[in-house]
Homo-oligomer: A and B are copies of this chain.
Amino acid sequence: MPNFRLTLEYDGAGFAGWQVQAGGVRSLQGELEAAIERVTGVRTRVHGAGRTDAGVHAEGQVANLTLETTLAAPALQRALNALLPPDLAVVKAEIAPDAFHARYHALGKLYRYRIWNAARPSPLRAARVWWVKPALDVAAMASAGALLLGTHDFASFQAVGSDVASTLRTLTRCDVLAVPEPQVPEPNARGEIEIRVEGSGFLRHMVRILAGTLVQVGMGRREPGSLPAVLAARDRRAAGPTAPPQGLTLVRVAYSDSA
């Protein structure tokens, strides 16, 4: 039975998150499983690499599913894209080795968090950014982010009520960068700031709590050097607020055969 590996892009605004939930809410897994059933007549479980939360976007989420079908991967991709709603698409479909599992075999994930840092709102960016009005010190945010690199207990950066065996995670990248200015000259424009976080795995809300904490550093409410103490506290209350979901995008998932 072929094991299909799908790369997915979606606009998270209209979804209650990745996972199928009770109560008929709209989930990415649910939309995919329904479309697959319409194409093939078979109901099968779709396994996602990461369970993105409600409102979080993806450019390169990965999922796999085994399916009794004679359809080749490109034909399955075309058929699914013809049936899926406009806010969810299959970027790529491939046949994976039988043992491939999108979640268990993921070696790492890259997330991007976008901030619109300006006194005035940006209608063309609103659906993809967190609008932060006070001027942020990007250099301070970058030096704070660098202190999170490596393997640490990230319990302080985990949503309250989560239940995982270990809160140890490894961050291999935590960059904070100012994005080039828009073409319209604006005297008070501070522009976009992007946080790029890559790691072996992430706790629930981890990237958003990290973004919320770095924004407090950028505002001068926390010292960049205070991040090791936040980690050491192993207490959600030691970190900053959870940044809103619309700024977050799962950019890609890494496996041993695809950097």
Binding site for B on A (CB under 8 A): 7, 9-11, 57, 59-60, 77-78, 81, 86-92, 110, 119-124, 126-128, 182-187, 249, 251-252, 258
Contacts and interface: CB of A to CB of B under 8 A. Distances in A.
Contacts of A60: 183-184
A183 B252 contact: yes
B187 A120 contact: no
Copies in the complex: 2
Contact of A186 (B11, B91, B123): B91
B92 A123 contact: no
Nearest to A90: B120
A110 B184 CA distance: 11
A29 to B, nearest CB: 16
26 contacts: A7-B184, A9-B123, A9-B124, A9-B184, A10-B124, A11-B123, A11-B126, A59-B124, A60-B183, A78-B119, A81-B120, A81-B121, A86-B121, A86-B123, A87-B126, A89-B121, A89-B122, A89-B123, A90-B120, A92-B184, A92-B187, A110-B183, A127-B127, A184-B251, A184-B252, A185-B258
A150 B190 CA distance: 36
